[in-house]
Structure 1
Amino acid sequence: QITVLGTPAEEQGGGKIDLINAGAFDGLDVVFMAHPSQENAPYLPDVAEHDVTVKYYGKASHAAAYPWEGVNALDAAVLAYNNLSVLRQQMKPTWRVHGVIKNGGVKPNIIPSYTELEFYLRAPSMKDLSLLTEKVENCFKSAALATGCKVEIKGGANDYYNVLPNKSLQKVYKENGKKLGIEFISEDSILNGLSGSTDFGNVTFIVPGLHAYFYIGSDALNHTEQYTEAAGSQNAQFYALRTAKALAMTALDVIFKPDLLEAVREDFRQVKLKEEGQINPV
C-alpha cells in the first residue's frame, strides 16, 4: 500500500509534527520526500531547530525630561543581541543563531516599555540544541537583569528534529537516480555541508525516511524571488518529475525486496541508538 500525504505549514508550525500526533505515519514502513535545491543529493544534514520569542517589559518615561524614571526595554533587547554576538566565539562551528528585533519601541522621546525579539537556534542534534538553547536563554536573562526589565521567554510550539540518515535507502535511491541521468554531489560534499531544518526530521525519528534534494535547472538560491520564478518554470517540471520517478523506483525496491526493507529497518535502529547516545559512532 502506498499513501500520499500533503503537508500543511512545513515552514511555519511544523505540519508534519501535527500529522505524527494525529497518527498519520502509524503503520508505515518507510517515508519518502524530496526538496528542491541547487544540487542533487540523497541526503543532506538538515539540523535540529528551536524557535524562541523573547519579550522585555520595562517602564515608559519621557526620554529628555526624566529618563531616570524609565526602565528601558530597548536597552535589554540590544544587550541580548550583543550578548549573543559575544557568545558566538564559544559556539561550535555547526551551531547557528539568527534573529530579529520585531518591536523596538514607539517614538524616540519615549523610553521603550516593551520590546520583542524572535530567534531561531539550530544544531546538528537534539542534544546539541539543548546545550545551545540553555546558553542563549542565559544571554536573554542576563540582559533583563542588567537593565531591570522583566523578561518572558517562550519557545515555539514544536522543535524540528535533525533528519536521521538511512544509508540503505540513500544507496538505492542514488542507484535509481543515476539510471535516470541524475548526477549527485560527492559524499564529502554531503558530509561537510549544512542545510536548513525541516519537520521531516521528526518523522525520521519514528519511521525510516528518505529526504532527498534535487536540482531544478537553476543556480538561484532557495527562498529568493529568483528561485520562486525558477521553480514555476517548465524546465523545473522535468527535474521534479525525474526525481519523483527515482522515488517511485526506490519504493518498488522496498516493496519487492524484503532483504532491503530489513536493511532499512536495521539502519534506522542503529542510527536511533547513535542519536540517543547508547552506542559510539563508528
Structure 2
Amino acid sequence: MSDAVDLKPALQARISELHPSLVELSEWLHAHPETAWKEHESAAKCASSLREHGFAVEENFVGLDTAFHAVAGNGPLRIGLMAEYDALPNIGHACGHNLIATMSLGAAVALAPVADELGITVEVFGTPAEEGGGGKIEMLDRGAFDGLDFAMMVHPAPVDVVRARPFAVEHWEITFTGRASHAGSYPTQGVNAADAFTVSEVAIGLLRQQLPSTVRVHGIVTHAGDAPNAIPGHARGRWYVRAGTMAELEETAAKVKRCFEAGALATGCSVEIIDESKPYSDMRTNEDALAFYRANALALGRELHVEGGEHGEGDPAADMCRASTDFANVSWAVPAIHPYIGVDSFPVLNHQAEFADACVGPVAEKSLLDGATAMAWTAVDMARSLASAS
C-alpha cells in the first residue's frame, strides 16, 4: 500500500477538479427536492453520475425503488459512503442532503482510481427516506450493509462539530376517532376528536416536568376538523419522542403513549398510534476513525466547535448540532462516524427554511469541497489502519 500521506495531495487535487461538477449536482438536487420514498429523480441522477465515473451501479437496491449501490475497486477492505438525498416537505433541502450526497460522491470518485492500491472496495449507498422514513434501517434489515468494514457520512450543520450524538427517536402517526355532529344544534351527540388532542397535549406538557433533559417530545396536529360548527369526528397528528438511549426512549415512549390514551379516555374517543418507521437508535462512534477525521478537518483549516455535552463546556452553536438519524442504526452493525460540517449559518439552524438557502452558494461549495476531501483522507487513514490490524 502507498504511504497515505503521499496519496492525500493527489486526492485533494482530484476532488478540486471534480468540484464544479459536484456543485452542479448539488444545485440540481437543491432545485429538485423530493421527499421520503419519492426521490426517484434524485437517486437516478446520483446513480448516473457514479456510473459515468466507472462505478458498477445497482439501482432499486435491496428491493427499494429509490435506493442504489455503486461499487469501484476490488480490495478486501470495504468502505461505505452514505448518500442521502431526500428533502423536507414544503421547505426543500433545509437539512442539506444535497450536500451529503455530493460530498459522498466526490470522495468516492476520487478514491476509485486508487482503491486497489489502497486495498479497498469503495461503495456508495444511495439511502432514501432519512427524514422520518428510516430508509437505512430498512436497508440494514435487508442486508444492504452486511460485510462492510467501515461506513461514514458528513452532515451539514450551522458549524463544524466532529462527534455526532444523535437522539434515539420514535415517529408516530396518531389518529383519534370520535363522532361528528352539528356543534350548535346537536353538540351532545358529538364525540370531539380535536378535544382528544387538546387533552393529550396538556398531559404531555405536564409530563415534561418529570422528563430528563435528554428527552424531547414534539409533534403537530395535521387535521382536526373542517368547520367550526361541526364537531370533528376524526383528528390526526404526527409526534416524535426522542431520548439519549434506546432504553430511555422505550421508557419515555410508554409514558407519552399514556398521554394520548388519556385524551381518548377523557373524550370518549378511540386512539390509534402507528409507527411511521422503526425506531432510530443512538449512535456508536468508531473512535479511531473519528480521530482521523478530526485531524484531517483541522489540516483543511476547518474550525471545530466543542459541544457542551462532550467536554462540559462549549458554545450554543455547537449544542444545536443534535438531531436523530437512521445512520445511527447502521453504526451498531458497522464501525462508523457521522461528523457535522458547518455552512456558517448560525443562528439559522437545520430544518429552518433559511437553512436551505445556506446549503447553496460559496460557503456551501467550500464545505462540499472540504467534506469530500476529509472523507477521502479518512478512508485512506482507515484503510492503512485496518490493513495493519489484520
Paired with 1:100 and 1:39, the residues of 2 have a C-alpha distance of 28
Paired with 2:165 and 2:305, the residues of 1 have a C-alpha distance of 13
Residue 160 of structure 1 is matched in structure 2 by 280
Matches within 5 A, 1:106-255: 106-186=226-306, 188=308, 190=310, 193=319, 195-219=322-346, 220-255=348-383
How far has the Cα of 1:221 moved from its partner? 1.8
Paired with 1:7 and 1:191, the residues of 2 have a C-alpha distance of 32
How far has the Cα of 1:11 moved from its partner? 1.1
Change (3 A) 1:189 1:84: closer
Out of 76-85 and 219-228, give the one that drifted further. Answer: 219-228
Secondary structure at the aligned position of 2:185 is classed as coil
Name the amino acid aligned to 1:206: A
8 Å Cα contact 2:199-2:263 kept in structure 1:
yes
Bigger relative contact order, structure 1 or 2 (CA pairs below 8 A, ≥6 apart): 1
Secondary structure at the aligned position of 2:124 is classed as coil
Name the amino acid aligned to 2:147: G
Paired with 2:126 and 2:311, the residues of 1 have a C-alpha distance of 29
Note the alpha carbon deviations across 1:237-263, whole angstroms, 9 max, x for none.
12221122111111111111237768x
Secondary structure at the aligned position of 1:100 is classed as strand
TM-score norm. by structure 1 comes to: 0.87
Paired with 2:369 and 2:162, the residues of 1 have a C-alpha distance of 16
Secondary structure at the aligned position of 2:381 is classed as helix
Residue 18 of structure 1 is matched in structure 2 by 138
How far has the Cα of 1:90 moved from its partner? 0.7
How far has the Cα of 1:187 moved from its partner? 5.8
Paired with 2:389 and 2:142, the residues of 1 have a C-alpha distance of 25
Paired with 1:261 and 1:113, the residues of 2 have a C-alpha distance of 63
Note the alpha carbon deviations across 1:47-99, whole angstroms, 9 max, x for none.
11101111111112222222112211111111011111111111111100111
Identity of aligned residues (%): 38
Name the amino acid aligned to 2:295: E
Name the amino acid aligned to 2:376: A
Runs of 4+ with >6 A deviation = none
Secondary structure at the aligned position of 1:229 is classed as helix
Name the amino acid aligned to 2:291: K
RMSD: 1.8
Note the alpha carbon deviations across 1:159-181, whole angstroms, 9 max, x for none.
11112222222111111211111
Q: Number of residues paired by the alignment?
A: 262
Note the alpha carbon deviations across 1:145-170, whole angstroms, 9 max, x for none.
11111111112222111122222221
Change (3 A) 1:242 1:153: same
Paired with 2:361 and 2:389, the residues of 1 have a C-alpha distance of 36
How far has the Cα of 1:212 moved from its partner? 0.7
- Structure 2: gaps of 5 or more residues: 1-120, 313-318
8 Å Cα contact 1:44-1:191 kept in structure 2:
no
Paired with 1:169 and 1:261, the residues of 2 have a C-alpha distance of 14
Name the amino acid aligned to 1:257: S
Paired with 1:187 and 1:118, the residues of 2 have a C-alpha distance of 30
How far has the Cα of 1:190 moved from its partner? 4.1
Paired with 2:264 and 2:360, the residues of 1 have a C-alpha distance of 47
Paired with 1:77 and 1:90, the residues of 2 have a C-alpha distance of 20
Note the alpha carbon deviations across 1:221-250, whole angstroms, 9 max, x for none.
222232212211133112221122111111
How far has the Cα of 1:189 moved from its partner? 5.6
8 Å Cα contact 2:178-2:191 kept in structure 1:
yes
Note the alpha carbon deviations across 1:172-203, whole angstroms, 9 max, x for none.
11112111112211264645636111110111
8 Å Cα contact 2:349-2:355 kept in structure 1:
yes
Q: State yes or no: 1:59 paired with 2:179.
A: yes
Q: State yes or no: 1:98 paired with 2:218.
A: yes
Out of 47-56 and 191-200, give the one that drifted further. Answer: 191-200
Change (3 A) 1:84 1:91: same
Secondary structure at the aligned position of 1:5 is classed as strand
Secondary structure at the aligned position of 1:107 is classed as coil
Name the amino acid aligned to 2:254: E
